[in-house]
Every structure is written in C-alpha cells, then in structure tokens.
Amino acid sequence: MPLTDKFGRIHDNLRISVTDRCNIRCFYCMPEEGVQFTDRAEILSFEEIERFVRAAVPLGVTKLRLTGGEPLVRRDLPRLIERLVVIPGIRDIALTTNAVLLGKYASDLYSAGLRRLNIHLDTLDRARFLQITRRDDLPRVLAGIDEAVRVGFEKIKFNVVAVKGLIEPDIVPMARFCRERGFEPRYIEFMPLDSQALWGRKRVLTADEMIAMISEEIGPLEAVPDADPRAPATEYRYADGGGRVGFIASVSKPFCLNCNRIRLTSDGKLRYCLFAIDETDVKGLLRSNASDEEIAAVIRQNVAEKWLGHEINSVKFVPPPRPMYAIGG
C-alpha cells in the first residue's frame, strides 16, 4: 500500500535534513548571532538515517533530498550518499546546498553517486551576497559551481529566495547567468519560516511579478505544458528555446493539493509539511531497536494525520515552531 493521506495524496518523496548548522547566515532563515544548534548527540547518525530510509522504501518512497542547515558542513556527507544510493527502490537523490563548500566536496559527492544538485544563490554581486548572508563567500560559491560542472554535474538548479524590496535587482541577472550556463533558476517566494519574524505578505515578490520582469528584460516565458504537476515549481520556458525557469509560488499559488513530500529533521522528527505544527519522533524508535514494521507504522500514522495544506493566506495561519534551518528546506 503506498503512503497515502486522507486526501488521496501519495507520498514518495522524503527530504532528509542532516544538520541544523550552517556556515552562512541568510537573514530570511537564520539570525545573525546566538543560534542555538542541536546537540550533536541528538542528531541522527548515518546508520540511523539509512535505517529510516530502508523502512520507508517499502511504503513507496523512491526520491530523497538531502538538506539542512547546510548539508556540506556535516562531516563525511559523501559517505551517507554512498549508503543511500545502493538502497534498492531509491531512484533519485538530490542535494540542496549553499555551495560554499562545494569546491571541496563536488568531486567526492559525484564519486559517491550524487547526480542532482540544487544550489542556493540569490545574487551575483559580492556586496549584496554579504548583505543577504552576512558572509563574504561569493567567490567560494562561484568557484564551487565551476568545480561541480567540471566534475560532471549537469542540469544544476539554482534556488533564489524572492524577498520584495531587496531582491528585485538580482532577478534578471540570476536568470541571465543560468540561461547562459545551461542551469535552471527556481525563484522561491519568501515564506514565513525565518527565525526573526521578518516575514510579511508585503515582503513577498510573487511569481507573476518575476515572470513579468524576466519576460520584459530577457524574452517571453511560456508555461511548460507537460510539467510534472507534483513538483513544487511551476515550470516555464523561454519562447526562443533558451532554457527553463521555475517558480515556487508557495504564497501566491499554494500547491499543497499536489504535495508528495514528507520530511525527516536532523534530530529525528517526522513532519508531513514544512509548516506543520505537530511532528512525530522517530529517533526514539531508531534508538530502541524498533522493527522496520514499527517504524513504517509511525510513518503511516504521521501521513494519515497530514492536513490539507498550510494556511499562509488565512488569518488562522500559525508559523511553525521551528525556523527553516531547523526543519530542512
């Protein structure tokens, strides 16, 4: 029986956060100072993550994404990838990274079997990168991208967080950069997941606004007709055939009805939604010799409790108790 919730949505996609730590401090995710990270003893080991994945595969999980915090600050991450790629039934593994450490690890990641990369980069301007991330690491990120291409990564996607009143000057340059290099940018509407309560509807640059900006400056965009309806990004392509652009319109056009994702936090909590208030502990099971069937039953129960969708656009909306870096984006 596939992992189906009470609204009939089938879940085959597991996002695994491997750490809540990060080497930069994007203002829409982390505070500048004083972040309380989880004790290392509370973080799932690679053995525990692998065990969880093996228990989830018989339920129909086929796709994994490793995220964080910054996954590349987790020591020996390629060793985890080696363990996961060989699990029968896993068809796809992706990594979301800020690319600061990609120059160092790209080759090992590729050798470990990773083929899909999402790189988070909002700007190509060094001063603006420093302003957004509070770290002067743009040169390392750009070198990391070059190294990833050199070692063989193809079709790299770029995450750009769209904060209104800030990011407008970067929308078109990021689109041009991706178009010229054969990458796909994905513009993500700013979501209420920051740790400092900076979010407000007026600070969301919407997908429609960005489509208009890119179409005017670079060329017309048209919706991709055969795009996967379960993917979070709405796919567009340049009418001249010059590549694709994705928009994750979580705020202006929520896509909850097509959600196929569950999440495992680095401290072993299962979440049926980025915005979930409740979560289910699985670390206790993993550390008490529970059987695969017991773990599977807890996964099924968590998915059975899944709500229809977040309520960002309603007065009822309650931000989740964890910020983005502690959930895993």
**Residues in touch with ligand SAM (CB under 6 A):** 22, 28-29, 67-68, 70, 96-98, 120, 159, 161, 188, 190-191, 193-194, 324-325, 329
Residue with tokens 């909850």: 256
CB 109 within 8 A of CB 103: no
CB 218 within 8 A of CB 211: no
Confirm or reject binding of residue 121 to ligand SF4 (CB under 6 A): no
Residue 128 CB coordination number (10 Å) = 16
Choice from 69, 192, 243, 268 touching ligand SF4 (CB under 6 A): 69
Tell me the β-bridge partners of 222: 237
Strands (E), the chain: 13-17, 63-67, 92-97, 116-120, 157-162, 184-189, 221-223, 234-238, 244-248, 261-264, 269-271, 280-281
Confirm or reject binding of residue 29 to ligand SF4 (CB under 6 A): yes
3-state SS assignment for residue 310: coil
Q: What is the CA 226 to chain-centroid distance, rounded?
A: 23
Choice from 13, 17, 19, 98 touching ligand SF4 (CB under 6 A): 98
Choice from 64, 325, 326, 327 touching ligand SF4 (CB under 6 A): 325
Closest to ligand SAM by CB, 97 vs 302, is 97
CB of 80 to ligand SAM, least distance (A): 15
Q: How many residues contact ligand SF4, by CB under 6 A?
A: 13
Confirm or reject binding of residue 176 to ligand SF4 (CB under 6 A): no
CB of 163 to ligand SAM, least distance (A): 8
Which among 96, 230, 249, 100 has a CA at the least distance from the CA of 162? 249
Confirm or reject binding of residue 248 to ligand SF4 (CB under 6 A): no
**DSSP H helical segments within 92-206, as ranges?**
102-112, 126-133, 138-151, 168-181
Residue 235 contact partner, candidates ligand SAM, ligand SF4, none, CB within 5 to 8 A by sort of partner: none
CB of 38 to ligand SAM, least distance (A): 15
CB of 270 to ligand SF4, least distance (A): 20
Residues between 254 and 313 with contacts to ligand SF4, criterion CB under 6 A: none
CB of 119 to ligand SF4, least distance (A): 10
Confirm or reject binding of residue 24 to ligand SF4 (CB under 6 A): yes
Residue with tokens 């513009």: 187
Confirm or reject binding of residue 144 to ligand SF4 (CB under 6 A): no
Angle at 276 between CA 253 and CA 22, to 5 degrees: 90
Output the residue with the shortest Cβ distance to ligand SAM: 329
Interface region with ligand SF4, contact rule CB under 6 A, candidates 62-70, 87-95, 277-285, 286-294: 62-70
Closest to ligand SAM by CB, 18 vs 295, is 18
Q: Which residues contact 53 (CB under 8 A, 6 or more apart)?
A: 14, 16, 61, 64, 84, 87, 90
Maximum alpha-carbon separation in the chain: 58
Angle at 247 between CA 155 and CA 92, to 5 degrees: 40
Closest to ligand SF4 by CB, 16 vs 61, is 16
Backbone φ and ψ for 40, nearest 5 degrees, come out as: -60, -35
Binding site for ligand SF4 (CB under 6 A): 22, 24-26, 29-30, 68-70, 98, 120, 324-325
